[in-house]
Amino acid sequence: MKTVTGFASATVGNVACGFDVLGFAITEPGDEVILTLHDERSSDCPVSITSIIGDGGALPLDPKKNTSSFVVLKFLEYIRTTKGIAFDGHIDLVLKKNLPLSSGMGSSAASAAAALIAANELLGSPCSKMELVHFAIEGERVACGSAHADNAAPAMLGNFILIRSYHPLDLITIKPPANLFCSLVHPHTELKTSFARSVLPKSIPLSTATQQWGNVGALVAGLLMEDYDLIGRALVDVVAEPKRAPLIPGFVEVKQAALDAGALGCSIAGSGPSVFAFSSSRQTAETVGAAMQQAFLHSKASLASDMWVSPICSEGARIVSKTP
Amino acid sequence: MKTVTGFASATVGNVACGFDVLGFAITEPGDEVILTLHDERSSDCPVSITSIIGDGGALPLDPKKNTSSFVVLKFLEYIRTTKGIAFDGHIDLVLKKNLPLSSGMGSSAASAAAALIAANELLGSPCSKMELVHFAIEGERVACGSAHADNAAPAMLGNFILIRSYHPLDLITIKPPANLFCSLVHPHTELKTSFARSVLPKSIPLSTATQQWGNVGALVAGLLMEDYDLIGRALVDVVAEPKRAPLIPGFVEVKQAALDAGALGCSIAGSGPSVFAFSSSRQTAETVGAAMQQAFLHSKASLASDMWVSPICSEGARIVSKTP
């Protein structure tokens, strides 16, 4: 029995100005998916979920409804139809969830990317990561209703990923500056992506849009020119953050605490409630993260939180172990 | 009598997706401004326009209404109030207009930048180019009613200039890839900037805005990573081009001709009617430019045109001669 364990880490979508087009991966925490290959099919569906650890029973065990197994099914269908690889065996799936659900940390994307990198390895690596990323994005549709790529793409590919276009999918990898560190703080409250999307306007003033794309261009320039000050100045979101900040108790105080502690910039991670900040050294990022946690704790809602400090992950989803 | 001649070249604003936030300078054609310093003030106003050559009598001779003299007056006021440099003499100004008016080629910005670089030299270079650029932008308000920077900033500073923010003004210089060439075609018709702005919507769907800022980020990435294919893919404007294309007779055919001839991408220069295309070699840019001219000629309006092929100008406004 061949067994492969895949890992994919937390990701932050939007990155302030880059609403729906930008995301990045950090190195930890992340989800693990352990796949075991059997020669014989043991049910109608070629993938079964053996267990899910760490979700508190929240995620579905139906392989067609769970993101991690759903994307493996999509992958099997793809290699059968486009590469002529018929799969007659069976895959048992164990999902170790280390990422909190509905946290804005790309939880579903991490499960999908970990499952896909493991499935690909299990079947002899027929696909490139760039092929796999399509299924990871499809997984987001199952998880939260829309096939957005700003978590799924960096979960699979690492780095910053800019989504130039969805149709056709055009993903640009942007390598981060060496000293860029992320402080990611997850307050102990949930915010559904679908609700966080519902507060956004359907249309925005052209002048607001212009401000936003000036900042998107500047953020990309700052990353590629390794200009930390410019990265900080460009971390401005005039579209989503003003609408979503009121949904996160203490956000205003947390952001101010991050900036006061020396962060380059601070905004909502994905659709929240997690909040991220960038700093130009690990030491500053540690100080910033601690200040953000204190601010959540001392805000009206007195929220406890978890906090991680991490560089940008350059690798993306990876295999952590395999037998034999 | 000290005389200084300043030069600033044509610029292309918007650059497809970068509406109001991006512009670049080419090396030719450009406007020249010749300033002569006299010790004695010869009128109430310290600047007089001696002559304007090449405008067909269209531009005002009143020094407070002509862009090139207006910006010199602003400059004189600035050095008096912030640097304590009192100017008691008089400046005679000759403007040699080589750029067509209302062409989308940054005509007023070139005159302003040429005048400012000459005035600064004439008075002992009290200002940096980054200071001068503020007055060049103010000149746009006189010329066309709004103080936009996407022509004025590259006319002064060269290269691609990204305007991250207007308040405060935050300009990012983006060096172009070495083999990027621009074909700029000016059809013999005029299009007022104010009219071209009036056809734009006041607000746009969030999904449209998202597409546009994905492309802005990708264009900046393409320029900085010297990825010519990416530059081409990112030259997409889903906001202004669809509204303005109908104002330029033959635009659809001209753009298609450019792409068929091997251009990376093609869009409207500023608010038009000029059209620019990018290519990854001078030879291709020549072929592309010729094809665009043919397309204008064979379109329903049978427009004759002028055409220039140029690399991106890295220098910006400069002094071309001075005496003594």
- Give the pLDDT of residue A319: 98
In tens, the pLDDT along A43-94 reads: 889 999 999 999 888 999 999 999 999 999 999 999 999 999 999 999 999 9
Mean pLDDT to the nearest integer, B197-217: 96
Buried-state track A136-170, b at ≥16 Cβ within 10 A, e below 16 = bbbbbebbbeebbbbbbbbbbbbbbbbbbbbeeeb
Long-range residue pairs from B222-229, CB within 8 A, at least 24 positions apart, any chain? B223/B160, B223/B174, B223/B175, B223/B176, B223/B177, B223/B180, B224/A220, B224/A221, B224/A224, B224/A225, B224/B174, B224/B175, B225/A224, B226/B177, B226/B178, B228/B177, B228/B179, B228/B180, B228/B264, B228/B280, B229/B264
Q: Is B202 on the interface with A (CB under 8 A)?
A: yes
Report the Cα B269 to chain-centroid distance in Å.
Answer: 9
* DSSP symbols for A182-219: EEEEEES----HHHHHHTS-SEEEHHHHHHHHHHHHHH
What helix, strand, coil percent values describe chain A, rounded to 5?
A: 35, 25, 35
- At the top level of CATH, the class of B2-174+313-323 is alpha beta
Distance CA B194, CA B244 (A): 12
Sign of CA dihedral A67, A68, A72, A73: negative
> Of A92, A85, A107, nearest to A8 (Cα)?
A107
- Give the pLDDT of residue B4: 98
Report the Cα B74 to chain-centroid distance in Å.
Answer: 20
Put simply, the chain B residues between 236 and 295 with a CB less than 8 A from any chain A CB are: 236, 239
% of chain B surpassing 70 pLDDT: 100
Q: Which residues touch A18 (CB under 8 Å, ≥6 apart)? A: A150, A162, A216, A219, B213, B217
Residues in chain A within 8 Å Cβ distance of B204: 203-204, 206, 209
Q: How many CB pairs under 8 A join A and B?
A: 127
Helices (H) and strands (E) in chain A, counts: 10, 12
Q: Do B164 and A206 touch (CB under 8 A)?
A: no
Q: Do A217 and B162 touch (CB under 8 A)?
A: yes
In tens, the pLDDT along B159-180 reads: 999 999 999 999 999 999 999 9
Q: Do B213 and A162 touch (CB under 8 A)?
A: no
- Give the pLDDT of residue B143: 81
- Give the pLDDT of residue A259: 98
Report the Cα A240 to chain-centroid distance in Å.
Answer: 18
- Give the pLDDT of residue B191: 85
From the list A165, A204, A214, the residue facing B162 with the nearest CB is A214
pLDDT at B245 over 80: yes
Residues in chain A within 8 Å Cβ distance of B18: 213, 217
- Give the pLDDT of residue B7: 98
From the list B162, B212, B218, the residue facing A221 with the nearest CB is B162
From the list A162, A164, A210, the residue facing B20 with the nearest CB is A210
- Give the pLDDT of residue B145: 76
- Strand, coil or helix: what is B287? helix
- Give the pLDDT of residue A299: 93
Phi and psi at residue B195, in whole multiples of 5°?
-70, -40
- Give the pLDDT of residue B324: 86
What helix, strand, coil percent values describe chain B, rounded to 5?
A: 35, 25, 35
Residues in chain A within 8 Å Cβ distance of B209: 204, 209, 212-213, 239
Mean pLDDT to the nearest integer, B1-21: 96
Low-confidence ranges of chain A (pLDDT < 50): none
Contact status, residue B320 vs residue B119, Cβ threshold 8 Å: no
CA-nearest residue to B212 within chain A is A213
Contact status, residue B295 vs residue B252, Cβ threshold 8 Å: no
Please state, in angstroms and as integers, the Cα–Cα distance from residue B77 to each residue in A155, B12, B71, B85, B202, following that order.
55, 29, 10, 9, 35
Helix (H) or strand (E) holding B310: strand B305-311
Q: Is A206 on the interface with B (CB under 8 A)?
A: yes
Please state, in angstroms and as integers, the Cα–Cα distance from residue A72 to each residue in A136, B216, B297, B300, following that order.
9, 34, 56, 55
pLDDT band at B197 (very low <50, low <70, confident <90, very high): confident
Q: Do A170 and B233 touch (CB under 8 A)?
A: yes
Long-range residue pairs from A198-205, CB within 8 A, at least 24 positions apart, any chain? A199/A243, A199/A244, A199/A247, A200/A239, A200/A240, A200/A243, A200/A244, A200/B206, A201/A243, A201/B206, A202/B205, A202/B206, A203/B203, A203/B204, A203/B205, A203/B206, A204/A239, A204/B203, A204/B204, A204/B206, A204/B209, A205/B202, A205/B203
CA-nearest residue to A239 within chain B is B206
pLDDT band at B228 (very low <50, low <70, confident <90, very high): very high
- Give the pLDDT of residue B193: 80
pLDDT band at B309 (very low <50, low <70, confident <90, very high): very high
- At the top level of CATH, the class of A181-311 is alpha beta
Q: Is A220 on the interface with B (CB under 8 A)?
A: yes
Q: Tell me the domain boundaries of chain A.
A: 2-174+313-323, 181-311
Distance CA B252, CA A92 (A): 55
Q: Which residues touch B222 (CB under 8 Å, ≥6 apart)? A: B228, B229, B230, B231, B232, B233, B234
Q: Which amino acid is at B15?
A: V
Q: Do B164 and A233 touch (CB under 8 A)?
A: yes
Mean pLDDT to the nearest integer, B19-35: 97
Structure tokens at B270: 């500023």
> Of A311, A312, A318, A281, nearest to A113 (Cα)?
A318
- Strand, coil or helix: what is A47? strand
- Give the pLDDT of residue A146: 79
Please state, in angstroms and as integers, the Cα–Cα distance from residue A96 to each residue in A7, A121, A248, A281, B88, following that order.
10, 18, 27, 31, 79
Question: What is the pairing mode between strands B90-96 and B47-53?
Answer: parallel
CA-nearest residue to B211 within chain A is A165
Shortest distance, CA B165 to any CA of chain A (angstroms) = 7
ipTM given for this complex: 0.95
pLDDT band at B313 (very low <50, low <70, confident <90, very high): very high
In tens, the pLDDT along B59-71 reads: 999 999 999 999 9
In tens, the pLDDT along B82-113 reads: 999 999 999 999 999 999 988 899 999 999 99
- Mean pLDDT over each residue of chain B, to the nearest integer: 95
% of chain B surpassing 90 pLDDT: 90
